[in-house]
A and B are shown apart, each in its own frame.
Chain A
Amino acid sequence: MLGAGVPLAFVGIFFAWPVLAMVGRGLFVDGTLDLGGFGDVLTRPRTLRLVALTIGQAALASVICVLLGLPIAHVLYRLRFRGRWMLRALVVLPFVLPTVVVGVAFRTLLRDGGLLGGLRLDGTFAAIMLALVFFNVAVVVRTVGNTWEGLDSRQEEAARVLGAGPVRVWFSVTLPRLAPAITSAASIVFLFCSTAFGVVLVLGGSRFGTIETEIYLLTTQFLDLRAASVLSVMQLVVVVALLLLAARARGRRTAQRRVDAANAVHAPRLGDAPAIAVTLLVAVFLALPIVSLVLRSLQTADGWGLGNYIALGGTGSRNALVVPVWVALGNSLQVAVQATLIAVVIGLAASLVISRRPRSLGLRRALAGFDGALMLPLGVSAVTVGFGFLITLNQPPFDLRSSPVLVPIAQALVALPLVVRTILPVLTGIDGRLRESAAVLGSPPWRVLRDVDLAIVARPVLAASGFAFAVALGEFGATSFLSRPDRPTLPVVIFRLIGLPGGDNFGMALAASVVLAAVTVGIIALVERLRVGTMGAF
């Protein structure tokens, strides 16, 4: 009960209530429900275009991310080679870079006269796709990889011995077992992309409006809450439809034999060549904007040097910052640790509940609904949630509007779905008979939970923590309007620096982004080492 209650209360208070209140503001005029807005807004040709483009770009980006992410997951989680933990950490790097910085990095490459200017992609739909894939391919690699690394490879071997070719083995043995994880990953990517904001604007040159950019414009500029509410409802409809589709696709859960990852990996062989080739290609693609960013951060007015990094210790040559970047990094780490704790505790509790298979159909449906509810925060506009906070959390016991705790809470809301989607596929894969045998052998329920569920889920929890931490560190949208100016996080500082003229400010913004990325990768790498280290433990 508690397992379901805490996550429900969390999502209810900090997500559902603010969003409903905000939508309500737009739909209720003087206390009466006014649905006229739907007729107005939905019949505008512009609305149809926004919805189509939102679904189109999110769906296409998800497909590309899955196609590219699977071979990489194979290489990073099924092959044994030195330094693979480092690569697993590096793949998360794009995820934490501030969108405005990545936007500048991409556009510097793509503009006429840029390194890739010959492709003539600047301001096109393809440029938006490139950036969305850049940010999200890690979601697929990590979510799928985490399930994949524990899959028993003897089933594939058996199929191969019985004469199946590699293609047949992949489609009839491996793919079905990965399907739940792939669907999970694809739905997260879809949700991220459908609410992508900065990327779409910066790379599309504000030509490609989506539901998200329109809600932003209507709410923050026009204060047209009526139209914004209609679009928020549209956004919810799209998201819920996707989640239902994903739940159907995940379909019947199949028990999987999970093994110690040490026995599932193998040294690279000839058959892995295509996967390795794709991985290398994607690595080059991911590295290009990052390398150009690092190079630019090393350029100063007096030529190459570490000047921009040294400047981070101060508050900018013209007092651009309230606090040195190191202090902002400290704030960021502190908030991210809190957010990670919240997301992992709540996500684990929720996953344990969702992974149960009650006999009653009603209960099973309720669990599926609960599962979906936890995903919703990814698919609803940060503007709606943020404005909603202000009109709901203003009275005791939730008088939190100006409280610093809202920052980790908002970050945890974004990280929670990733935690659940990382842990759940592993938990649902546990053979129910394992729990039953433990119970038959006399274990009380808490011991079954501890010795079966928690023991198996320990490593995915670590992986999820690392990912949640990265998400929290990089989160900007919600953090920017909740964080206090005297205690800014690093992304907030970067955003401020890149909004000021002058080479020193620009250089510092890029140097600070490199620091943010390096620290994140360092911490994730540490977690990966820890994971590899605990291998023998179960």
Chain B
Amino acid sequence: MHTRNKKLAAAGVLLAVGLAVSSCASDAAPGAASETLVLVTHDSFTLSEGTLAQFTEETGIEVEVQALGDAGELVNKLVLTKNSPLGDVVFGIDNTFASRAVNEGVLADYASKDLTDAEAQYLLPAGSGLEQLTPIDNGDVCVNVDHEWFAEAGLDEPVTLDDLVKPEYADLFVVPAANSSSPGLAFLLATIAAFGEGEAGGDGWQGYWSKLVDNGVKIDAGWSDAYYVDFSGPSSEGDRPLVVSYASSPPFEVQEGDTEAPTGALLDTCFRQTEYAGVIAGTENAAGAEKLVDFLFSTTVQNDIPESMYVFPVNAAATLPEGWSEYAAIAENPFVVSPDDIDAGREAWLTEWAAIATP
């Protein structure tokens, strides 16, 4: 009798879970809007609740968001589906993949009419994306330093890329791999911009990486791994006080009551990633798509970007949230590699890098 009841109870619970779960299925369908635009993005895209709804209020157009993987996957998927586009607008093409998107012809000609001279620094060169891509946000990938660790050790913090290969900083540095992590690639590009082409064991970026390896740099597969396992920062488990991360990371280590950030970014080691939006070639609603690109550049979205995506807005009229101006620094002269050079060099660089850094 007892077992039977238990059995019935268990069956009842399972049934109830099943019903509860499948009953939520019906409310998923979006309201029947007259117009819907599909915005394809990378997986890190988020905005606060209600932000996109404002676009619908203003224009009567619904926006459906479709994430397609990281920035590389996003562009490659657009290229593969050129003849049968996945959406109307794309957000999240960065300067390391912009050339491929432009050269493969996946974008229609439109850059937001609201851009001003103040955003000129973010624009791509003419013929290489100026006409198709509107800058939306940017973030610097920089070496982050654990201030507390260096204070305790009584060691001066490194400042430049050259410092990182000095013997006093041996075994203190961890980086995510360039071939499986996008900040990892950004850091490789910073070293390529800083040291130029050369050869392994000789000079140039290859020589620099050989020295980094000799100086005990640790290469991890991904950012999470480098930051949370090997970095010595306050929310991390490890013992290496130098890590490749974002310039926007330090504010997130600040606890209530702190007067200064426990970590910081080395601003002479940065590579700037800028993310763009564009109209996808072949859209049936070009006018609506252009409005959506303008909306992404508007202060409505731009003011929301820092807290939602942990990067800086490009719109000069946007305001930064509290704490950002204090703890999140911006590099004055980040390293730059042109999108065309990145597109041409990527495969060879990564192959060479892998041979040096992960033998």
Interface residues of A (CB under 8 A from B): 25, 100, 103-104, 107-108, 111-114, 198, 201-202, 204-207, 213, 217, 219-224, 296, 301, 318-319, 321-322, 330, 333-334, 337-338, 387, 390-391, 394-395, 401-402, 404, 480-481, 483-487, 492, 495-496, 498-507, 523, 526-527, 529-530, 533-534
* Given A222-B347, A333-B21, A201:B239 Cβ within 8 A: no
* Given A108-B237, A319-B308, A496-B44, A502:B221 Cβ within 8 A: no
Q: Is B325 close to A, CB under 8 A? A: no
A284 to chain B, nearest CB (A): 21
Q: Which residue of B lies closest to A333 (CB)?
A: B21
Q: List chain B residues, Cβ under 8 A from A523.
A: 17
Cβ A333 vs Cβ B225 within 8 A: no
Cβ A337 vs Cβ B67 within 8 A: no
* Given A221-B72, A402-B86, A499-B224, A534:B7 Cβ within 8 A: yes
Cβ A220 vs Cβ B72 within 8 A: yes
Q: List chain A residues, Cβ under 8 A from B73.
A: 220, 481
Cβ B64 vs Cβ A402 within 8 A: yes
* Given A205-B219, A500-B310, A503-B235, A223:B10 Cβ within 8 A: no
B48 to chain A, nearest CB (A): 6
Bound CA span A319–B305, Å: 11
Cβ A499 vs Cβ B223 within 8 A: yes
Cβ A390 vs Cβ B81 within 8 A: yes
A497 to chain B, nearest CB (A): 10
Bound CA span A498–B229, Å: 11
* Given A333-B17, A337-B22, A484-B66, A104:B228 Cβ within 8 A: yes
Q: List chain B residues, Cβ under 8 A from A484.
A: 64-67
Cβ A402 vs Cβ B38 within 8 A: yes
* Given A112-B239, A333-B21, A485:B77 Cβ within 8 A: no
Interface residues of B (CB under 8 A from A): 3-4, 6-7, 10-11, 13-14, 17-18, 21-22, 24-25, 28, 38, 41, 43-46, 48-49, 64-70, 72-73, 76-77, 79-81, 84, 86-87, 100, 177, 179-180, 218-225, 227-230, 234-235, 237-239, 245-246, 248-249, 252-253, 255, 307-308, 310, 346-347, 350, 354, 358-359
* Given A322-B49, A337-B21, A526-B14, A501:B38 Cβ within 8 A: no
Cβ A501 vs Cβ B49 within 8 A: no
Bound CA span A358–B346, Å: 56
The winner among B7, B81, B84, B225 for most chain A CB atoms within 10 A is B225
* Given A499-B224, A533-B7, A217:B179 Cβ within 8 A: yes
Cβ A529 vs Cβ B10 within 8 A: yes
Q: List chain A residues, Cβ under 8 A from B346.
A: 221-222
Q: List chain B residues, Cβ under 8 A from A222.
A: 346-347, 350
Cβ B79 vs Cβ A334 within 8 A: no
List 14 other contacts, CB 8 Å, given A221-B350, A319-B308: A104-B228, A107-B220, A107-B230, A111-B230, A112-B239, A114-B237, A201-B222, A205-B221, A205-B358, A206-B220, A221-B179, A496-B44, A526-B10, A530-B10
The winner among B13, B72, B237 for most chain A CB atoms within 10 A is B237
Q: Which residue of A lies closest to B218 (CB)?
A: A205
CB<8 Å pairs between A and B, sample of 24: A104-B229, A107-B220, A107-B229, A111-B237, A112-B239, A202-B220, A205-B177, A206-B220, A220-B73, A222-B347, A224-B347, A319-B48, A338-B25, A404-B28, A481-B67, A492-B43, A498-B224, A499-B223, A501-B252, A502-B252, A504-B235, A506-B228, A529-B6, A533-B6
Contact of A201 among B180, B227, B234 (CB under 8 A): B180
Cβ B65 vs Cβ A486 within 8 A: yes
* Given A202-B222, A390-B81, A501-B252, A485:B239 Cβ within 8 A: no
Q: Which residue of B lies closest to A535 (CB)?
A: B3
A164 to chain B, nearest CB (A): 37
